[in-house]
Chains A and B, each alone.
Chain A
């Protein structure tokens, strides 16, 4: 993989109390989060959660109703030559089909004031050197994604903002993207990436920002968030009410799941087992719930009642 310039200046992304309304619809609702340099942050949420709207506001393509977004402490429009500091992939349709891939990058390079040799560097970086003279109209979705990424890397930016960058990529392409992002993050760059591919995100990201209905549901290092979620125990028992009371008395927060099952958040087998035995509760099943990013995501984004739920924001 060709080396990219390592002399990058780290810059954090900060979103503060961001709200965006489209008429009666609130797409982003008082959203605040921070993205740190040197880490890959996954921006996750179901369709219509406000991810793309947030990214567009961050990149000054849309105006917020209220709140602010800054990159390195500045609004995007106030960053001199922003493409030299921030690279973005928003969607794989921003091409003229009759223009050749190299010409597309050349067009961007002229506007950004980037020297032509850099075009060959980024084409090699995304593996499109052999197809650079082809018209983009003949490109596959995956090739377009690679070309978008090449455009984002043209200015050798210290911040990368990628909206669904793995769309259309084959498994090899996804693995390649993962390695590339890891490589770029290791150089100290700030990387914010939104995606629906949770399994892939789980392998790629260091931190997550989870949003739903425009609101922040969770933010923090993925390892801490999932580790905390892993401490739940599911118990199937004919004495649900009695065990709930016992668990509550021991300082846990049990939730009845129906069907004689109880979920005891924050409990471990070592803590809950003796408690059950000492109280002589009959149990049919005792399972440590092994949660991953997907289950955490689903837990935080389904059947939410918005403001009445606390936002689990954790720090490293």
Chain B
């Protein structure tokens, strides 16, 4: 067996034998359930109804019910993938077995991506197990929902994967686990909306290349609110899906490469 598959297998094994990633997994399921529920809440003439989504936008919100969990938990998973090694000094054991650090970093990127896929699968399983029965029970159209699989599902999978890699990059940069989690969440949930709002109101500029906005473009550029009730912005203000994907790839690889050159090459003490 060549080295890289071994390294990736070891990274996946590390993730599945610690509780952190499983907590992330559980939160993904929970947030997706919440997203499903909110996609059935429709306001009409100032009155809120719990009813089956019928419009394209509403159906895509249901199909993209895992959007919030992707934004929140995929980067956290990526952060855990690398910072757990620093926190418990497991990196020493890792590097003793394989001292070529770029390989280790690539293996972690790939392992984060695989867990991103697993999170996406969990999210869509939840939609299948909860969202579809609820839709049918409320009298919605299953066939209309199926039409939204193509526009939403590939983008959502890509978003989970790329956001997990982005989180891994953040973890490589900061090394401290708590700081990494706070930074990943703070950037997505606090800093980005502020930046978008400031540039939007003061300079009338659409800052579309930031991770959350790029994710919106990738996973649901059709939505005025973003799937699952994400942050604001209209579809016209978002990047096209492939530019969103490129932006996320650049955020992920950029932070990882920067982290490699600034922290990952340092002495391990």
23 residue pairs from A and B, CB less than 8 Å apart:
A60-B99, A61-B269, A62-B268, A62-B269, A77-B99, A83-B97, A91-B89, A93-B89, A94-B92, A95-B88, A96-B18, A96-B88, A100-B17, A103-B13, A106-B13, A107-B14, A108-B10, A108-B97, A110-B6, A111-B10, A111-B94, A112-B6, A113-B6
Q: How many B residues have CB within 8 A of the partner chain?
A: 26
Q: How far is the CA of A91 from the CA of B10 in the complex (A)?
A: 21
Residues of B with C-beta under 8 A to A76: 99
Q: Footprint of A on B, CB under 8 Å?
A: 1, 6-7, 9-10, 13-14, 17-19, 84, 88-90, 92-100, 267-269
Residues of B with C-beta under 8 A to A56: 267-269
In the bound complex, do residue B267 and residue A77 qualify as a contact, i.e. CB atoms below 8 Å apart?
no
In the bound complex, do residue B19 and residue A98 qualify as a contact, i.e. CB atoms below 8 Å apart?
yes
- Shortest beta-carbon distance from A38 to chain B in Å: 23
- Shortest beta-carbon distance from B92 to chain A in Å: 5
- Shortest beta-carbon distance from A189 to chain B in Å: 17
Q: How far is the CA of A38 from the CA of B17 in the complex (A)?
A: 38
Q: How far is the CA of A98 from the CA of B18 in the complex (A)?
A: 6
Which residues in window 87-132 of A have CB below 8 A to B?
88, 90-91, 93-100, 103, 106-108, 110-113
Residues of B with C-beta under 8 A to A100: 17
In the bound complex, do residue B269 and residue A110 qualify as a contact, i.e. CB atoms below 8 Å apart?
no
- Shortest beta-carbon distance from B193 to chain A in Å: 35
Residues of B with C-beta under 8 A to A11: none
Residues of A with C-beta under 8 A to B18: 96, 98-99
A293 close to B (CB within 8 Å): no
Q: A100-B17, A107-B13, A111-B6 are in contact. Are A94 and B93 (CB under 8 A)?
A: yes
In this complex, what residue of B is CB-closest to A93? B89
Residues of B with C-beta under 8 A to A113: 1, 6
Q: A98-B18, A107-B10, A111-B7 are in contact. Are A63 and B90 (CB under 8 A)?
A: no
A142 close to B (CB within 8 Å): no
Q: A94-B89, A97-B88, A100-B17 are in contact. Are A111 and B98 (CB under 8 A)?
A: yes
In the bound complex, do residue A110 and residue B90 qualify as a contact, i.e. CB atoms below 8 Å apart?
no
Those 9 A-B pairs whose CB atoms lie nearest each other, nearest first: A111-B10, A62-B267, A77-B99, A61-B268, A110-B10, A83-B97, A60-B99, A111-B97, A103-B17
Question: Which of these, B13, B90, B97, contacts A95 with CB under 8 Å?
Answer: B90
Residues of B with C-beta under 8 A to A88: 96
Q: A107-B10, A111-B7 are in contact. Are A61 and B97 (CB under 8 A)?
A: no
Question: Which of these, B6, B17, B84, B92, contacts A90 with CB under 8 Å?
Answer: B92
A160 close to B (CB within 8 Å): no
Residues of A with C-beta under 8 A to B96: 59, 61, 82-83, 86, 88, 90
- Shortest beta-carbon distance from A102 to chain B in Å: 10
Interface centre among A60, A63, A95, A113, by most chain B C-beta atoms within 10 angstroms, is A113
Residues of B with C-beta under 8 A to A95: 88, 90
A151 close to B (CB within 8 Å): yes
Interface centre among A93, A97, A106, A107, by most chain B C-beta atoms within 10 angstroms, is A107
In the bound complex, do residue B13 and residue A110 qualify as a contact, i.e. CB atoms below 8 Å apart?
yes
Q: How far is the CA of A110 from the CA of B99 in the complex (A)?
A: 15
Residues of B with C-beta under 8 A to A59: 96, 99
Residues of B with C-beta under 8 A to A98: 17-19
Q: How far is the CA of A39 from the CA of B97 in the complex (A)?
A: 24
Residues of B with C-beta under 8 A to A107: 10, 13-14, 17
Q: How far is the CA of A110 from the CA of B1 in the complex (A)?
A: 11
Q: Digitize A54-91: 1 where CB-to-B-CB distance is under 8 Å, 0 elsewhere.
A: 00100111110000000000001100001100101011
Residues of A with C-beta under 8 A to B267: 56, 61-63
| New A-B pairs, 17, CB < 8 Å, besides A59-B99, A95-B88, A106-B13 | A56-B269, A60-B95, A63-B267, A82-B96, A82-B97, A82-B99, A86-B96, A88-B96, A90-B92, A94-B92, A95-B90, A96-B84, A98-B19, A99-B17, A110-B6, A111-B9, A112-B97
In the bound complex, do residue A110 and residue B9 qualify as a contact, i.e. CB atoms below 8 Å apart?
yes
In this complex, what residue of A is CB-closest to B87? A96
Residues of B with C-beta under 8 A to A94: 88-90, 92-93
Q: A94-B89, A96-B88, A97-B88 are in contact. Are A77 and B100 (CB under 8 A)?
A: yes
- Shortest beta-carbon distance from A214 to chain B in Å: 16
- Shortest beta-carbon distance from A72 to chain B in Å: 15
Residues of A with C-beta under 8 A to B94: 111
Q: How far is the CA of A267 from the CA of B54 in the complex (A)?
A: 103
Residues of B with C-beta under 8 A to A61: 92, 95-96, 267-269
- Shortest beta-carbon distance from B9 to chain A in Å: 5
- Shortest beta-carbon distance from B108 to chain A in Å: 12
- Shortest beta-carbon distance from B95 to chain A in Å: 6
Residues of A with C-beta under 8 A to B269: 56, 61-62
Q: How far is the CA of A60 from the CA of B98 in the complex (A)?
A: 10
- Shortest beta-carbon distance from B263 to chain A in Å: 14
Q: How far is the CA of A91 from the CA of B14 in the complex (A)?
A: 20
- Shortest beta-carbon distance from A29 to chain B in Å: 17
